[in-house]
């Protein structure tokens, strides 16, 4: 059975493993190799289990560990065109780079990408389809939910969905004005409220499991994100119609079975 392991999930570092105990893929690597290796081992995984890395975009909290990781393991790195160009020019990868093509097969898992509105060169999320018909997706770093995202994710079995900030915490917080406006923009990040609205659409479409991720450590709290999203799911029965959890900033061991 495939699993999704949220190893790291915050504004300071992101990395998600999807697969089985023996083989799978990594979505982003925004932490040091030592931290990633420790997180994998806490979950009974090894770096050699990673058969490919898929990059969502070039911001440092998603790629800063790639250089060392790709020296340690022989796994190809996939990205969309402009992101791929950046990775090449910046020397961020010490190994094979491939342009992302929908339907890419890794370990019997079919991977496809969908565009996300974010202030990056060519930001995207990823959806993975398994041989048993189950699907999982990682959808973070988006200022709003587009029709393309809805089309890609409605009905997905398990979704790791951004719930980055509480609007009032952000507006009243210490961030400079320009940064607040960047986060609040349509190319910024998804608020708890917008995450809750999309979560309701997902559950209505048949999504069974939602993991809230990429929470800001300055402008959010896990309990606030969770309660806000749950408030938008009031027409459904939690633990019957859906399961909801919050990805930790750094894993202490734990996964969600897809």
**pLDDT tens track for 47-72:** 999 999 999 999 999 999 999 999 99
Distance CA 189, CA 96 (A): 30
Q: What are 17's strand-pairing partners?
A: 5, 26
Distance CA 99, CA 67 (A): 17
Name the residue among 212, 213, 203, 209 with its Cα closest to residue 243: 209
**Residues near 181 by Cβ (< 8 Å), separated by ≥ 6?**
none
Distance CA 247, CA 142 (A): 17
Q: How far is CA 117 from CA 1, 66, 100, 186, in A?
A: 32, 23, 18, 7
pLDDT at 184: 98
Rg (CA), the chain: 17
For range 222-227, the mean pLDDT: 98
Assessment of whether the complete model's pTM goes beyond 0.85? yes
Distance CA 185, CA 179 (A): 10
pLDDT in tens, 5-46: 999 999 999 999 999 999 999 999 999 999 999 999 999 999
3-state secondary structure of 125: strand
Q: What are 137's strand-pairing partners?
A: 127, 159
Chain-wide mean pLDDT for the chain? 97
Percent of the chain with pLDDT strictly greater than 70: 100
For range 172-201, the mean pLDDT: 98
pLDDT in tens, 61-109: 999 999 999 999 999 999 999 999 999 999 999 999 999 999 999 999 9
Distance CA 204, CA 84 (A): 35
Distance CA 242, CA 233 (A): 9
pLDDT at 52: 98
pLDDT at 70: 97
- pLDDT exceeds cutoff 90 at 1: no
Please identify which residue in the block is written with the tokens 């995450």.
195
Banded model confidence at residue 164, pLDDT cuts 50, 70, 90: very high
Please identify which residue in the block is written with the tokens 């009243």.
172
pLDDT at 141: 98
Name the residue among 207, 214, 208 with its Cα closest to residue 243: 208
Distance CA 218, CA 256 (A): 26
């Amino acid at each position: 059975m495939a699993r999704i392991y949220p190893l790291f999930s915050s504004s300071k570092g992101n990395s998600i493993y999807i697969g089985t105990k023996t083989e799978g893929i990594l979505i982003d690597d925004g932490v040091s190799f030592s931290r990633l290796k420790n997180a994998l081992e806490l979950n009974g995984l090894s770096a050699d289990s990673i058969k490919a890395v898929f990059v969502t975009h070039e911001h440092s909290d998603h790629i800063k560990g790639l250089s060392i990781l790709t020296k340690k393991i022989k796994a190809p790195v996939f990205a969309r065109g402009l992101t791929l160009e950046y990775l090449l020019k910046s020397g961020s990868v010490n190994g094979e780079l491939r342009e992302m093509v929908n339907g890419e097969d890794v370990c019997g898992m079919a991977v496809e990408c969908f565009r996300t509105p974010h202030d990056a060169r060519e930001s995207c999320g990823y959806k993975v389809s398994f041989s048993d018909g189950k699907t999982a997706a990682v959808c973070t770093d988006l200022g709003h939910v587009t029709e393309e995202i809805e089309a890609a994710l409605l009905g997905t079995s398990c979704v790791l969905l951004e719930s980055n900030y509480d609007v009032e915490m952000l507006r009243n917080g210490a961030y400079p004005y320009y940064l607040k406006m960047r986060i609040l923009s349509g190319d910024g990040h998804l608020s708890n409220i917008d995450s809750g609205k999309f979560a309701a659409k997902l559950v209505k479409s048949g999504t069974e499991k939602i993991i809230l991720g990429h929470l800001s450590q300055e402008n959010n709290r896990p309990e606030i994100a969770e309660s806000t999203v749950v408030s938008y799911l009031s027409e459904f029965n939690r633990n019957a119609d859906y399961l909801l959890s919050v990805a930790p900033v750094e894993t202490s061991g734990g996964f969600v079975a897809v």
